């Protein structure tokens, strides 16, 4: 397992940039040596196209539960992920 968190530091902008490139290069090299795919970070947001009818039904359900639509979708995804 390779931690996808790439750490680097420097005292100047130039040092930080050089350290960043070195850290990323080292990470990619480690992935190649271990024959693993480099991981991409996730932001925690994404767009989903669900159609008008499902969007409306979800909004109504969220309102009935007194939560916002994001919370309703988050809970639904958590249930789905936990089931697998």
Spatial neighbors of 24 by CB under 8 A, at least 6 apart, are 6
Residue 62's domain comprises: 52-82
Q: 37 with 67, same domain?
A: no
Spatial neighbors of 59 by CB under 8 A, at least 6 apart, are 69
* CA 78, chain centre distance (Å): 14
Q: 69 with 36, same domain?
A: no
Q: Is residue 46 part of a domain?
A: no
Identify the pLDDT of residue 39.
85
pLDDT (tens place) for every residue of the chain, 84 residues total: 566 678 899 999 999 999 999 999 999 999 999 999 888 878 899 999 999 999 999 999 999 999 999 999 999 999 999 998
Q: Global pTM?
A: 0.59
Q: 32 with 4, same domain?
A: yes
Q: 6 with 30, same domain?
A: yes
């Amino acid at each position: 397992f390779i931690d996808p968190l790439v750490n680097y530091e420097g005292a100047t902008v130039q040092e930080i940039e050089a350290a960043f490139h070195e850290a990323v290069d080292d990470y990619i090299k480690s992935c190649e040596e271990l024959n693993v795919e480099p991981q991409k970070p996730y932001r925690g947001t994404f767009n989903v196209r669900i159609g008008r009818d499902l969007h409306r039904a979800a909004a109504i359900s969220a309102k009935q539960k007194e939560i916002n639509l994001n919370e309703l979708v988050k809970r639904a995804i958590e249930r789905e992920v936990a089931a697998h």
